[in-house]
Structure 1
Amino acid sequence: MNSYNKPSGNGRSDEESGGRISGDEKYGETFVPDPLPLETLFHRYGIERSHADNVARNVLELFEILAPAHGLGPEFQQLVEIAALVHDVGVATDLENHHKAGRDILLLHPPSELPERLWPVVAWTAFLHKKNIGEKKLRKLNEKGFGNMPEDLQALTLKVAALVRLADALDYSRMESRLGKVTSGKKSFRFEIEGEGAAIDAERMDKKGDLWHLLYDTELEFRPQSHKS
């Protein structure tokens, strides 16, 4: 489904480990980004290809299904796909804080396939994909470099991150869970999750839906597929 499914190596670089730029610096003022192609990012930072591809597949399905709620046009499909492909770029550099490492890597080396204006969206999506998000965390974002981005890019980043969080959660078990039957109401979507890890991943999606529910008044529900005899 995504356009970047090519074999990847497991090489990595410690280029940023000693003095990498910080996402807390002011937007656009402290460094000049050096964009790299997706394949270079995959090789250099040892991104887990199977997980990245699954999350990209998931996010494109969610993007299409939830389009009436999130309101993003088809011109943003490539953005959400690429954001999903590189969301874990910081894992090999700093597993515990890979959301921060990923942000800093992508601020320095944004995917060259995207227009320059959208580079920070991918970096901050990587930062926002990992931990729980509530009103307090959203307010604190304004104290970081995130708050120095144009307001329209801040809003776009949060929407992309909400989708990537759900797509990532759907592959939490690494057991090839998939979206099954979808039932939609006026302000709700109910997803049945298929696969051996469905119970694990449905529960994870419920948790990682926190940002979505802060942004939208459309309720999402995730349940493992029931098998009736």
Structure 2
Amino acid sequence: MRPTWVLLRKDLLLERRAPESVPAMVLFSITTFVLFHFGLGRDEVEGSLAAGVLLVTILFAAILGINRLFVSEQAEGGFDAVLLAPIDRTALFLSKAMALFLFLTLVELVAVPAFAILLLGPSPWDALGGLVVVLALVNGALALVGALVSALAIRTRSRDLIVPMIGLPLLVPALIAASRSCAPLLAEGGASWPAAKWLAVLALYDLVFGLLAYAVFDFLLED
């Protein structure tokens, strides 16, 4: 795991010294919530509508980060360095997935309170624990699939088109499960914890796609 931590530290230092992904994702999220606030013509949303607004905003904010995930490796020869170094090449995949997970978490620390202020009718704090668990599992799905799709798309000239074309269909099962999990939490007088079956679906999705991405990334990097 040492190469993974080294590569992750490099990505975090780059983002700290020259912030690009996180500020853009935060700005996109808040702007989207403002547009929903005025576009829907209502001050409060709840239940399935609230879950849809929150998750769709997080999804498209994540696309911004996914598109830039491997830009530094492409521009500065990072792929060649990993291929030549005596390390497990999947360390690059793990570091990118972890970096994207952390970026999404930072974005949500700002975006979720903004969502609650601008759009949410019922208070989300009673169901905060369940919402944190759901968002953590969603972030895992976005990070694992996003890292794989970004590595596939970065060497093409249509990177900005390839990422949503491949990534969005793959993420549909996770988003459906996340929406079903969040809807009761964001409803007036709703549950304080999501249904166990939908949490299980999200966890199983993360496990299956994590193993699949880990298995194919080495061959993808060589090609």
Structure 1 or 2: larger strand share?
1
Looking at CA atoms only, which structure, 1 or 2, has the larger radius of gyration? Answer: 2
TM over 0.5: no
Normalised TM-score (structure 2) = 0.29
Structure with the larger RCO, 1 or 2 (CA within 8 Å, 6+ apart): 2
